[in-house]
Structure 1
Amino acid sequence: MSLTPRRPLSPDTPPLPAPPPPAQKQTPAASLDVFTGDPNFMTSLARGLIVIQAFTQQNPQMTISQLSVRTGLSRAAVRRCLYTLTKLGFAGAEDGSRYSLRPRMLTLSHTYTASNTLSSAAQPILERMSAALRESFSVATLDGDDIVYVARTTVNRVMAVDLHIGSRLPAYCTSMGRILLAYLTPEQIEAYLARVNLVPHTTRTVVSVEKLRMLLRNVRRNGYALCDQEYEVGLRSLAVPVLAPNGRAVATINLSGSAPRISALEMQTRFLPHLRNAASELAVFLR
């Protein structure tokens, strides 16, 4: 079969547009640009907090160069932050080059949990439920596009990741996250759906914006969210809202269990009433 030769481009033919450059992931330091010119904003404090948050369970020790790459801050800025944190006892480097956070950092989280009404009130409620039902329960709030655990009890380790107070998970593929998203205003939900990157954590993860929008409507209508192995294979979870007097979901409480051990039906029939009672009890402290 003969192929028709392409007609050569004439001098007047405009060149094809160059492909757009790949999108650059915004660094934590770049997020501070919006505060440029604000005389009340302490940039040095913000940089220190960015350095602190760069340490994770996967990266507990890092050099100045590694922290500079992760944060987007200059090496000089990272060095000053680490110098200050080290002098105050919040960080240190055993070998002089690889820095890590120090136990004194726990005083900051303790201050939050001791002074936060929601966290201090939730913990005994969860412990009582865990003792009676022999299951793991958690309370979380929404922080940006993630949920943050503010109280938790663990009877049986049901997740591969070690969750604790302060742990963060994506909102879109967790039962607690869907509760907190579903009770946002319609405008807030649409803004979230427009910016979220729906990464498939398992083959069951919902990665369609339209399907997620429909699920959030169902969650709001039913008053609970059930996620079946969307964040981790083998993990099933059920969550309900903790409502303030104005109807806003200020937090959420959930049960996490092994999918082979607890069916979705058992979660809805046996455990949902307990979760709703606990949410009502916790809501009293918000009045």
Structure 2
Amino acid sequence: MTPIKSPVNTEERAMSPIEDESGTIKSHAKEGMGGLAKGLAIIEAFGPNTTRMTVSDAANLADLSRPAARRCLLTLVEHGYLAHDGKFFTPLPRMLRLGSAYLSTSSLPQIAQPLLASTRDKLQESVSLAVLDEGYAVFIARAEAVRIVSTGVKLGGRLPAYCSATGRVLLAGLPEEQVRAHLESVPMKRLTDRTVANLDGVLKAIRRAAEDGYAISDEEIEIGMSAMAVPVKNSAGQIEAAVSVSVYSGRVNIETLRETFLPALRETAARLQRSL
């Protein structure tokens, strides 16, 4: 996981602006709370591949000193966000409140949910909505198909943009210079033997997603699982989100994704676009 940098030279207290005799602001000290920023960096370090961490893990992932990481972790324990067994720190349900603040105030997940549920019922597969956040596709709404074993990530989960169908669709909405700069800044690694994890290959996949209007990830995230995503554009024609479906390769092949699932996803995206 890419280390999340904690801001430096951040004031622990708010500073007042400096004004000259006419009342014009001449300079303004940067406002912020360094301790809060460090705590948030640790919270963001938790994910599907980091479900628990030691003090050393937290210090490394959030780019903090061990004493600072320990103070942040213990504060989160004290306030009910983490549990501590003497060595490992793990998230508690209270952590969900942080994500629910966005989900409960943003209209996009609320508008999308019934549309996703309708598409799920039509396809009998889990359907999701995601947005781009710092190189990850973050899932903000999801209609889960009822199966013994579920597929894909959960609500609030995230996948690397470079190798996921959802991420490639979202990156396709950015200028290529920005996409290239992002890809050059993240460590791309092969999650399976089918993962495209080199700059030229990923750029090619993103360009194809832009041209085709959809992307497919065929067992690049996990062997036996494939996904398809289509863009959701706002009134200005910019890609704001992506609708996706994840399936087991043995149950749904790539041809079926294109012939049956793609029209359904495009219809859902179009209905969502009309609601934005």
Which residue identity does 1:32 align to in structure 2?
P
Which residue identity does 2:72 align to in structure 1?
C
Name the structure 2 match of 1:261: 251
Q: Which runs of 5+ in 1 are unaligned?
A: 1-24
Bigger shift: residues 170-179 or 180-189: 180-189
Bigger shift: residues 233-242 or 65-74: 65-74
Cα distance change, pair 215–35 in 1 and its aligned pair in 2 (3 A): farther
Name the structure 2 match of 1:277: 267
Name the structure 2 match of 1:50: 41
> What is the Cα deviation at residue 63 of structure 1?
4.0
Name the structure 1 match of 2:77: 86
Cα distance change, pair 41–122 in 1 and its aligned pair in 2 (3 A): same
Do structure 1's residue 32 and structure 2's residue 44 form an aligned pair? Answer: no
Alpha-carbon distance between aligned partners in 2 of 1:172 and 1:61, rounded to the nearest angstrom: 25
Name the structure 2 match of 1:75: 66
Report the aligned-residue RMSD. 2.6
Cα distance change, pair 71–208 in 1 and its aligned pair in 2 (3 A): closer
Task: For residue 252 of structure 2, give the secondary structure of its aligned residue in structure 1.
Answer: coil
Name the structure 2 match of 1:107: 97
Q: Which residues in structure 2 correspond to 1:232-271 (within 5 Å)?
A: 232-271=222-261
Contact 2:2 2:187 in 1 (8 A): no
> What is the Cα deviation at residue 220 of structure 1?
0.9
Alpha-carbon distance between aligned partners in 1 of 2:256 and 2:9, rounded to the nearest angstrom: 48
Identity over aligned residues, as a percent?
36
Cα distance change, pair 238–34 in 1 and its aligned pair in 2 (3 A): farther
Which residue identity does 1:88 align to in structure 2?
H
Do structure 1's residue 133 and structure 2's residue 123 form an aligned pair? Answer: yes
Deviations 1:151-175 (A, max 9, x none): 112224454xx62111111111111
Alpha-carbon distance between aligned partners in 2 of 1:183 and 1:166, rounded to the nearest angstrom: 22
- 1:117 corresponds to which of 107, 113, 129: 107
Alpha-carbon distance between aligned partners in 2 of 1:137 and 1:69, rounded to the nearest angstrom: 35
Contact 1:170 1:177 in 2 (8 A): yes
Contact 1:123 1:151 in 2 (8 A): yes
> What is the Cα deviation at residue 90 of structure 1?
2.3
Do structure 1's residue 145 and structure 2's residue 152 form an aligned pair? Answer: no
Task: For residue 172 of structure 1, give the secondary structure of its aligned residue in structure 2.
Answer: helix
> What is the Cα deviation at residue 118 of structure 1?
1.3
Name the structure 2 match of 1:208: 198
Which residue identity does 2:116 align to in structure 1?
L
Alpha-carbon distance between aligned partners in 1 of 2:254 and 2:220, rounded to the nearest angstrom: 13
Contact 1:198 1:208 in 2 (8 A): yes
> What is the Cα deviation at residue 99 of structure 1?
3.3
Contact 1:117 1:285 in 2 (8 A): no
- 1:179 corresponds to which of 169, 173, 181: 169
Cα distance change, pair 149–96 in 1 and its aligned pair in 2 (3 A): same
Task: For residue 222 of structure 2, give the secondary structure of its aligned residue in structure 1.
Answer: coil
Using structure 1 for the length normalisation, give the TM-score: 0.80
Bigger shift: residues 247-256 or 62-71: 62-71
Alpha-carbon distance between aligned partners in 1 of 2:77 and 2:240, rounded to the nearest angstrom: 36
> What is the Cα deviation at residue 132 of structure 1?
2.6
Alpha-carbon distance between aligned partners in 1 of 2:225 and 2:194, rounded to the nearest angstrom: 11
When Rg is computed on C-alpha atoms for both structures, the one with the higher figure is 1
Number of aligned residue pairs = 258
Task: For residue 245 of structure 1, give the secondary structure of its aligned residue in structure 2.
Answer: coil
Name the structure 1 match of 2:157: 167
Contact 2:2 2:61 in 1 (8 A): no
Alpha-carbon distance between aligned partners in 1 of 2:195 and 2:88, rounded to the nearest angstrom: 37
> What is the Cα deviation at residue 66 of structure 1?
4.1
Cα distance change, pair 69–118 in 1 and its aligned pair in 2 (3 A): same
> What is the Cα deviation at residue 147 of structure 1?
0.8
Task: For residue 273 of structure 2, give the secondary structure of its aligned residue in structure 1.
Answer: helix
Using structure 2 for the length normalisation, give the TM-score: 0.83
Alpha-carbon distance between aligned partners in 1 of 2:126 and 2:72, rounded to the nearest angstrom: 38
